[in-house]
Structure 1
Amino acid sequence: MNNTLKCVNSAGAVVGTTSTSSRNHEGSDTTHYARPGHLPIYADLLFTAPSAGTYTCGMYGYTASTSLDGYYLTAVATGTWLEVSDTNQVGARWWQNPACSSTGTSSTCTYVGAGTSTAWVFYNDGTPVHKWNAAANATSAQALATLELTTCYTGTASCKSAIDAYERPRGTNAVVDVRFEFIQLDPTSHTCRTTSTATSRKTIRDDAHHYVANFSLTGVPIDPTCGTRTFIMRIFVEHVSGNPIKIDGVQSTTSLTNGIAMNIF
């Protein structure tokens, strides 16, 4: 199941980046959802209009499966929603990591658990280290991130063959530790103040195969003693056990792992 956010212009053409979060439904009787049978998927998108005009933004649900046609999923009323800012988010910034094809063969894909145990998304994964400057009159900041992970079990078509030696049978699953950090820098571009989520342990089931972790940091202080209002964003991912993990990236114009920083006035 894919939850996609995209915006189109008056001619119906997609404008800017499309954001998608994906996960396989594990069945109505699964014990791995907060509510049995309900598959929650969240996605974020920062849309920047290229010019003045009318744009329509929406949330779309679809499946990429071609192997079956006798199933269906239902978007549940009141539990399905799209929240949009009613003001221009002046100075906001969007992060996305490098391209990584569905088959995982792109040279810019990032793997953990296949010779490398850790990665810093948006920091040492080939992404340019973007420095974001909070507005001079901002009182604090907000940071959001979506991290999409895919398990690499024996026989999967989603990972490159070079990591076959690390793959285990389907059902082994994978365990990772993740943490989201938003770091204010000093004038030498070193860390002055770090605001982060607690490190959390995630079990990515091979049955789900694709797994989405969502992060949010609100009311991030802008410390005047740091000497700058400059921040960097990164997500720590450490492989703990089980099958290797692919960190999903951009597929064509669709972003699967991304982040947003916003000013709070």
Structure 2
Amino acid sequence: MVAASARNHEGSDTVTYATPGHLPLFADLLFTAPADGTYTCVLQGTAYSSLTGSYHLTAVAGKTWLEADDGDRVGAGWWQNPACESADSGGACTYVGTGPARRDAWVFYDDGTPSRRWQAHPDAVSVSAQANLELTTCYHGTASCATAMQAHPRGKNAVVDARFEFIQLGTTGHACRTHSTTARRTVTDDAHHAVGYSFLTGLPVDPACGTRDFLMRIYVKHVSGQTVKIDGVQSGVTSLTNGIAFNNFG
């Protein structure tokens, strides 16, 4: 299993970084061992560029790490959306924007992701959920979007609203308790690929709902600017948009 986050570096003088010149990236992965044994986890950083010159990444001491929980996260669940190759020559990706793109979309819900319910453990006192949503701007001439989705020249940028929801279902299969967090995101054409992180922690499991079943989804609505692609699984293995649910026992 592979999970990744990507973003173009916007330069040392950008105003979008908390620390000038320092671009933080986080990639979360829930690994389920197929059998008892010893497994190796790797944190890999790669610099890609079609421009001439020498480019590199620097692992900053004290600020670069691979953090792993070697305890058994009993009953944890993993979501990832469908295949979406970089150039999307097969038209498999989901887009939100203008023209032929959708105006909005539900990630993990109506984007071709297999329908999935997650059941909280009977002994869990609460649950937590998190998700990484990676978006790519589709400016004219990019190699990362279908040609039909390229509506504006580079520099237009994009604004989207995103709402992360973790829903406890009732006995009829409909929403009983909805937990959510929202964010308005600007994705610049300089960044081009940009991942956003959402968290909902310590959510109570309401016994009045009659089930311990939960549904995860992310609502994405285009506000202005470039059409954006919702990145998915690439090369059949690398997940760029994904979610995790946990049981909390203490």
The equivalent residue for 2:242 is 258
Unaligned runs of 5+ in 2: none
CA contact (8 A) 1:129 1:232 kept: no
User: Aligned partners of 2:93, 2:216: CA distance in 1, in Å?
Assistant: 19
User: Aligned partners of 2:226, 2:50: CA distance in 1, in Å?
Assistant: 25
The equivalent residue for 1:200 is 183
Letter in 2 for 1:162: A
Shift of 1:73: 2.1
Secondary structure of 1:108's counterpart equals coil
* Residue in structure 2 matching 1:220, options 181, 189, 203: 203
Tell me the alpha carbon deviations over residues 36-95 of structure 1, each in whole angstroms, 9 at most, x when there is no partner: 000011110000111111111121111232433412221111111222123100111110
TM-score w.r.t. length of structure 1? 0.90
Shift of 1:123: 0.5
TM-score w.r.t. length of structure 2? 0.95
* Residue in structure 2 matching 1:97, options 55, 59, 81: 81
CA contact (8 A) 1:108 1:126 kept: no
The equivalent residue for 2:130 is 144
* Residue in structure 2 matching 1:232, options 206, 210, 215: 215
Letter in 1 for 2:80: Q
The equivalent residue for 2:94 is 110
- The answer to whether the aligner puts 1:28 opposite 2:12 as a matched pair is yes
Moved >2 Å (runs of 4+): 64-69, 104-108
Letter in 1 for 2:165: E
The equivalent residue for 1:190 is 174
User: Aligned partners of 1:184, 1:87: CA distance in 2, in Å?
Assistant: 26
Shift of 1:107: 3.3
Letter in 1 for 2:139: Y
* Residue in structure 1 matching 2:60, options 76, 96, 113: 76
Secondary structure of 1:34's counterpart equals coil
User: Aligned partners of 1:29, 1:68: CA distance in 2, in Å?
Assistant: 21
CA contact (8 A) 1:185 1:193 kept: yes
User: Aligned partners of 2:166, 2:202: CA distance in 1, in Å?
Assistant: 12
Tell me the alpha carbon deviations over residues 20-49 of structure 1, each in whole angstroms, 9 at most, x when there is no partner: 000001111212101100001111000011
The equivalent residue for 1:11 is none
The equivalent residue for 1:244 is 227
User: Aligned partners of 2:206, 2:161: CA distance in 1, in Å?
Assistant: 28
User: Aligned partners of 2:80, 2:11: CA distance in 1, in Å?
Assistant: 31
User: Aligned partners of 1:211, 1:141: CA distance in 2, in Å?
Assistant: 27
* Residue in structure 1 matching 2:156, options 168, 172, 179: 172
Secondary structure of 2:4's counterpart equals strand
User: Aligned partners of 2:52, 2:173: CA distance in 1, in Å?
Assistant: 52
The equivalent residue for 1:14 is none
CA contact (8 A) 2:131 2:242 kept: yes
The equivalent residue for 1:131 is 117
The equivalent residue for 1:5 is none
User: Aligned partners of 1:185, 1:255: CA distance in 2, in Å?
Assistant: 27
User: Aligned partners of 1:18, 1:106: CA distance in 2, in Å?
Assistant: 22
The equivalent residue for 1:67 is 51
User: Aligned partners of 2:139, 2:246: CA distance in 1, in Å?
Assistant: 38
Letter in 2 for 1:229: R
Unaligned runs of 5+ in 1: 1-16
105-114 or 179-188: bigger deviation? 105-114
User: Aligned partners of 1:70, 1:208: CA distance in 2, in Å?
Assistant: 19
User: Aligned partners of 1:130, 1:68: CA distance in 2, in Å?
Assistant: 45
